[in-house]
Chain A
Amino acid sequence: MMSEKSFATYLITPSIIVLLLTTTFPILYLIWSSFQNINLAMPWMDGFVGFKNYIEMFQDKQFWKSFRLTITYTASTVILQLIIGLGLALLVLKIPKAQWVFRLMAILPIVLAPVVVGLFWRTLMLAPDFGIIDFFTKTIGLGSFAWLSEPRLAVISVILIHTWQWTPFAFLVLLASLASLPTDLYEAAKIDKAPAYKRFFYITLPLIRPAIIIIIIIRSMVALSAYAAIYAATRGGPGTATEILNLYAYRTSFLEVNFGYGSTLAVFILLITITVAGILYSIRKKRS
């Protein structure tokens, strides 16, 4: 005989061991190396340096720039995904016969590798004198734009690329959530002659709030770990115009081979992620 408790422990132990070894141990190693000098270009300087890397980080202009950009990128992509996804879900709800087409097509951007998405947009869509978008803007008389080589436009472009790929996620979740709403509330509201916008703000929005909060949580986490699409589209450029913290930590570690400082930047990314997750989960708990 084996008690349920010991059987339960027996089943979960392998996974816990794997997670401790593959995730917790490397994170501890990362924290340790953030207090070290690890520079493959200057190995004779390696050793424990205390908070030197952290002090350097707070005095580093590029760090602050990347930090601000990360916040802008995360906030704007999440908001855009929600608004466009919700708008489209409401539209598609009105055409029940065509819903399956949208559901099927929405899968396509989601399944593509972000690096492929970045490359496709860089080459096929946004390249001057070659891309479709450029062709359209020229055709309607707006002229040609340097979408990826003018700093401000490049930031907008990488935000739009991320939004393009992941709005289908918000759309699919919201469509499922909207489709499962009880209809009797709406009948009552219609009998009361409540106008459409009132029905939306007082009935629909509160009912789909849990779905919205979950979308915000998941999409923020993903946006904070975004890397491949920006790497493929701009490599953080022009200059460092689109270098979010992930790309800056990558450049520092792997191109400048300064692993100590790179680790410090990565620890900071970890801390932002934990903070954002903590805030969002506490909002979710309060509401539900």
Chain B
Amino acid sequence: MNTINLNKKIFRNFIITFLSTFILLIWILPLIWSIFVSFKSEIEVLAYPPNVFFKPVLDNYKAAIFGSLSILSELSDSFIIASITTILTLLLSIPAAYSLARLNLFGKKKIGFYVLATQMIPPMGLVIPYYLILGKFGWLDTYHGMIIVYMTFSLPFAIWLMVSFMEDIPREMEEAAFLDKASRIKTLLYIIVPQVKGGIAVTTIFTFMNSWNEFLFAVQLSGNKVRPVTIAMYNFVSVEQTLWAKLCAAALIAMIPVIIIGLIGNNHIVKGLTLGAVKGGGRK
């Protein structure tokens, strides 16, 4: 009896481990394989069956960084756009979220609903009017044009994330009815902001990552002067041929910032996802 139960248990554990490991492998397979391919020569890449043992070369990384199709300028464009978007988003969303979450705001429910509604606007509904509007101003293919457009998805999401964090602070913190503007601002800066450091970290991570990874606005509203890194991959894909190995190297270089942020900020991201999930935010 006992041995049968034990065998059953071992068998069950084996199945669980096998199944979950299998799914885990599927998750990381494309990434792992892209790393392999990025170290192959363009000839080696085409070998069939796919080769796991080969002499690794750095040519593709050299080409992606220093070559004529270098993605360096795209990396710096994305960095500029994502950083400024993140800073502006934080500056606007922290006071707004404080107001929504903790103050006696006039029309609070309606304003909260409005912010949530703006978050749901599908990007296709924005890219068409923005193409026409920015075109009229001559703001296509400019940093400020791209930053304005990126605020459309980052600001509503950031306000909602920050609201969730602000709501978690204990109430007594800022009970004082008769204050002047200066001391109210001080309360926000010196009492509230330090309490929501974690929330600010989560918001920073999400805003930066979403701006870095954005593609639809990037492909249509930027151009030759300002080129976000998500378009840079297409340097290596043309009608005539795809340079597989260089494409992989470029994609990996482009994704290194978000992969690092993801692995280091792992707990923050899970918290942001689940917080959004409890209270109703989340996008992309």
Contact = CB atoms under 8 A, between A and B. Distances in A.
Do A and B belong to a common assembly? yes
Interface of A: 1-2, 4-5, 7-12, 14-16, 18-19, 22-24, 26-27, 29-30, 33, 38, 84, 88, 91-92, 94-95, 98, 101-117, 119-121, 123-125, 129-130, 132, 135, 139, 164, 168-169, 172-173, 176-177, 210-211, 214-215, 217-218, 221-222, 224-225, 227-228, 231, 245-246, 249-250, 253-254, 259, 262-263, 266-267, 269-270, 273-274, 277
Given A19-B155, A23-B118, A26-B125, 17 more contacts: A7-B99, A15-B115, A23-B156, A105-B27, A107-B270, A108-B259, A111-B259, A164-B27, A218-B282, A218-B283, A225-B124, A250-B124, A254-B131, A254-B220, A263-B128, A270-B121, A274-B120
A210 B254 CA distance: 36
Interface residues of B, number: 100
Nearest to A273: B122
Given A116-B255, A119-B233, A227-B216, A19 B34 contact: no
A154 B277 CA distance: 31
Contacts of A215: 277
B251 interface: yes
Most B Cβ at <10 Å: residue of A108, A121, A277:
A108
A168 B27 contact: yes
Contacts, number: 284
Contacts of A9: 99, 105-106
B132 A5 contact: no
A11 B29 CA distance: 47
Contacts of B188: 11
B128 A173 contact: no
Contacts of A217: 280
Contacts of A27: 121, 125-126, 129
A102 B20 contact: yes
Contacts of A169: 273
A113 B105 contact: no
Contacts of B138: none
A254 B19 CA distance: 45
B195 to A, nearest CB: 16
A93 to B, nearest CB: 10
10 contacts: A9-B106, A26-B125, A27-B121, A95-B20, A135-B48, A176-B274, A210-B278, A227-B124, A250-B216, A273-B122
Contact of A115 (B26, B220, B233, B259): B233
